[in-house]
Chains A and B, each alone.
Chain A
Amino acid sequence: MSRAEELIRELIDRVAGEVGLIIWDMRPREELTDEEMSIILGIEINEVRRALFALYELGLAEYRRKRDEDTGWIEYYWRIKYDKQKDVLRRELEKVKRKLEEKVQYESENIHYMCENGCVKVRYEEAMELNFTCPRCGGRLEYLDVTEALDKIREEIKKIDEIIAEL
């Protein structure tokens, strides 16, 4: 499996869950209603719908509504947009990159202290005002060394760039 495929699967799993992946793997040749999918897959219709709308939110599915002439009910005809997977992946990876850059910048510009028992994380100025004592448990506030974590994240941002370039 290519890296892009692995990532798109992880993305679907995160947003649309296992049912989302099962629908993705169906690779239907034509439009299907949620009810038809539910029958084919043997999965409860509400779960199928939830996963389909999650895929829709991601931009990986679209639907067409049509009134059934016999029942008068509105039917949803779904199509999975396999052709959009690279665009969706690129959008998500670019967002991740942006967010990580924001986080890295903030963490590198601010010094934080954290309670030795893990209750709170506060900025240096606040820690000083608190006399380096945790407002919750009374424990000591200790300097939080994030240097290595930031280096690691910077490397990861580079990797994300590589993946985007490969797409």
Chain B
Amino acid sequence: MDTREEILKILKERGEILQKDLWKELNIDSSKCSRILRKLEKEGLIKRVEVVVNGVKTFKIVPADAEVEEKKEELSLKEILERLEEVSALPPCFGCLERDCEAVRCLKLEIWFLKRVFGRKKLYV
């Protein structure tokens, strides 16, 4: 069985797999894996959905006919705050590679700021 067939078989059995797990499991290098997957997608046999795992972007591979959940466009501030575990002393601007940004329009900075506003309030409760 060649790699293409193996990939399709895995998908049939499990429904989905992360690209980063796939190439490890098939014991091929990541660029080869990526090449094959791009081709399979072009042929309409699979879909690649961009996901973030542990802060790293990868693809989730699903069969072409799978219903893919639409990415939620916006999160409420509360949801974002709940997802952030800690406030670092320095704001996200430290090390941010965004050029020409406007501080007052930056969502990351806003979250950092609100964490400060509420973090302090909580101390007094």
Chain A contacts to B: CB under 8 angstroms: 7, 10-11, 14-15, 44, 46, 57-58, 92-93, 95-96, 98-100, 102-103, 106-107, 114, 117-121, 136, 144-146, 148-149, 152-153, 156
Q: In which size bucket is the chain B interface?
A: 20 to 34
11 contacts across the A-B interface (CB closer than 8 A): A7-B90, A10-B88, A14-B95, A58-B97, A93-B94, A95-B94, A118-B78, A118-B81, A120-B76, A136-B76, A149-B116
The answer on a CB contact under 8 Å between B76 and A118 is yes
Q: Which residues of B contact A121 (CB under 8 A)?
A: 77, 110, 114
A106 to B104, CA, bound (A): 7
Chain B contacts to A: CB under 8 angstroms: 30-31, 76-78, 81, 88-91, 93-95, 97, 101-104, 106, 109-110, 113-114, 116-117, 120-121
User: With A57-B97, A99-B93, A100-B91 known to touch, is A107 a contact of B113 (CB < 8 Å)?
Assistant: yes
The dominant DSSP class at the B interface is helix
Which of B94, B113, B117 interacts with A92 by CB under 8 Å? B94
The answer on a CB contact under 8 Å between A46 and B30 is yes
User: With A103-B109, A149-B120 known to touch, is A10 a contact of B94 (CB < 8 Å)?
Assistant: yes
A95 to B102, CA, bound (A): 12
The answer on a CB contact under 8 Å between A96 and B94 is yes
The answer on a CB contact under 8 Å between A99 and B91 is yes
The answer on a CB contact under 8 Å between A96 and B91 is yes
A98 to B104, CA, bound (A): 12
The answer on a CB contact under 8 Å between B120 and A102 is no
- Min CB–CB distance B52 → chain A (angstroms): 14
Please name 8 further chain A to chain B contacts, defined as beta carbons within 8 Å, in addition to the given A96-B90, A118-B77, A152-B116, sorted by A numbering.
A11-B94, A14-B95, A99-B91, A100-B91, A103-B103, A103-B109, A144-B117, A149-B116
The dominant DSSP class at the A interface is helix
